[in-house]
Chains A and B, each alone.
Chain A
Amino acid sequence: MSQDTLFDKVWDLHKVSSLPGGSDQIFIGLHLIHEVTSPQAFGALKDKKLKVKFPDRTVATVDHIVPTDNQSRPFKDNLAEQMIETLEKNCLEHKIRFFNIGSGNQGIVHVVAPELGLTQPGMTIACGDSHTSTHGAFGSIAFGIGTSQVRDVLATQTLAMNKLKVRQIWCDNKLSKGVYAKDLVLHIINKLGVKAGVGFAYEFAGPAIHELSMEERMTICNMSIEGGARCGYINPDEKTFSYIKNKLYAPKNEHWDKALRWWESLKSDDNSIYDDVIKLDASKVEPTVTWGITPGQSISINQQIPLLDDLSPNDKLVAEEAYEYMSFKPGQLIKDTPVDVCFIGSCTNGRISDLRVAAKVLKGKKISKNVKAFAVPGSEKVATEAKQEGIDQIFKESGFQWREPGCSMCLAMNSDKLIGNQVSASSSNRNFKGRQGSPSGRTLLMSPAMVAAAAINGKVSDVREFIN
């Protein structure tokens, strides 16, 4: 059993009681909600005649269903309109802070909370969304929950949970040029498998992780869940603190100094004990692309799609399903695979640094005529910053469509969808069957820079050929 890790310290601090059944009752320091997984929870509160216990500890925004072309109200999609109206009504009724469209602070919930300084080290953070693990980049313990658990957090600010085990993933050396956090996390998921993280929190550590910016760290923690771990985190350091400083909800003045001292004390101790430790060499990671229907089915840009015989018995069943669904042949190269759609955005890679790196590849170039490409900033703040830097112009001049903030084609709950069996190069997090809105649509996950390169060539390309 783990001891003296950040996870242990934060868990123990938030433990309210041991429940009769044997699980722990854990206090949730920050609760984030959005329009998709909250309406039924508010409905259940009403049925049980309960109130929101700490309305100040819940923050709402709208992201999954928002259109990214025309955001004027009412939305064209009646169901989407009904969902945003329900959230507006619930927030008003229960006095919950809501960052609506046009507030300047709306966006994907996992982009918004960090950029407002709501996400801080040492907190427990829950949200009805599996990518809540993103917030672990700040040294918080953050995890996705379902709607009944959203109800419980609203009603009690606590959850019944079993403590997770802790696996440290130590990344030596540093990433080479043209290789990004997305490549590293896809590599980790490929090496460990999509279910290795079940029952674990992942602590990402080592020189390669230390080297990453806060936004890159968020990309890593964001995809913990794709490796089966509902929680992933990184010990806070100077980069964490300077990212938070001066943000809207960051501690101010004398409170800042107190916060800093406390945050410093949270790091995993040098002699802390882990349930498991994995080491890997980050300098060996190359630009990585998924070829299949799980985020674990990835290869380096110059590799071939694996042969069935090269896979472990456990991976064969899903590999066969993937060859068929993707219409790929075992042994085929992933490089030069034609793509129809290019998408840059999502809670994994829709932040300003993601747009900057893609813009650098696109600058002065035109995308292929065969490709429909669009960039969706992660939040209104990201969009504003991008416009100030002229990044939107670079995208538009290259042939990309520049859209309004939202989750968009990561899960296609709005009108941004693949059609038929189109192939998309996507900076998002899931390549599941049908994920991007068409039951036969095919998704290749990669870094934003790699998506930009694919857009220019109209096929899967090695971004390193663009950045020398």
Chain B
Amino acid sequence: MKSEFTPPIGKISNMNGQCISLIGNDIDTDRIIPARFLKCVNFDSLGESVFEDDRKTLKGKHPFDLEKNKNASILLVNSNFGCGSSREHAPQALMRWGIKAIIGESFADIFYSNCIAIGIPCFTLPKKSIQELQKYTDNQSLFLEIDLKNSSAESKDFNFNLEIKESSRKMFLTGEWDATSTLLDNKNLIENKFNQLPYIKFNTNFL
């Protein structure tokens, strides 16, 4: 658990940090943060409980417990990461542990949109490239400098491009990922839409 946590705000364009590898396909949100930790009315203390059960099982050998990873902030994962429940507690727990960006083969839909909504860019790379990066981190530290403007990553041994959905990339660069105010800009359009919807008119006993 890192010291002070400050949530990201505004435009996000660069992420520099050490990588931490977590190997496995279909790692679900119940594993990222078991349901018993969802009994809370804020997200503050979730960082220390990230992967709690997996970490207990591995008795200090889990990547999130290794001394060499304690300052890591870029997570390397495999396929379908974050599948299962919609709990935002999962990316919140990762973020509060110290994760600022994730690179993986693929992500589950709801997890991916939760990451955007809280300011964690998720990049994709082909399976082989991910595995190479993960292997590299076995023996040495991998410090990446990610530039979202060019969707590129650089380290002393590597220089490569990262994939990210164009709409997500734009949202981070403009700060629009924190969506509430952008959505509220269209106040009149929202009212108009509400008045046009057929079911609003015939559900008079609801309203």
Contacts and interface: CB of A to CB of B under 8 A. Distances in A.
Contacts of A411: 30, 35, 85
Interface residues of B, number: 68
A255 B56 CA distance: 58
Nearest to B31: A433
Given A146-B110, A158-B190, A152 B179 contact: yes
Contacts of A259: 198-199, 202
B206 A249 contact: yes
Nearest to A198: B109
A159 B31 CA distance: 27
B134 interface: no
A156 B190 contact: yes
Nearest to A412: B35
A37 B90 CA distance: 12
B183 A43 contact: no
B179 A40 contact: no
A120 interface: yes
Contact of A82 (B35, B41, B182): B41
B177 to A, nearest CB: 8
Size category of the A interface is 35 or more
Interface stretch (B64-72, B76-84, B144-152, B153-161): B76-84
A435 B32 CA distance: 11
Interface stretch (A47-55, A281-289, A447-455): A47-55
A435 B34 CA distance: 8
| A interface majority secondary structure | loop
A314 B190 CA distance: 44
Given A40-B43, A160-B183, A228 B83 contact: yes
B110 A145 contact: yes
A185 interface: no
A435 B30 contact: yes
Contacts of A162: 165, 167
Nearest to B53: A439
Contacts of A440: 57
Interface of B: 24-26, 28, 30-31, 34-36, 38-43, 53-54, 56-57, 78-80, 83-89, 91, 106-110, 113-114, 117-118, 165-168, 170-171, 174, 176, 179-180, 182-184, 186, 189-190, 193-194, 197-207
17 contacts: A20-B170, A37-B88, A39-B42, A83-B41, A146-B88, A148-B118, A149-B114, A155-B184, A158-B190, A160-B179, A160-B183, A251-B199, A259-B198, A318-B25, A433-B53, A434-B31, A434-B34
5 tightest Cβ-Cβ pairs between the two chains A and B: A146-B88, A146-B114, A148-B117, A255-B202, A144-B86
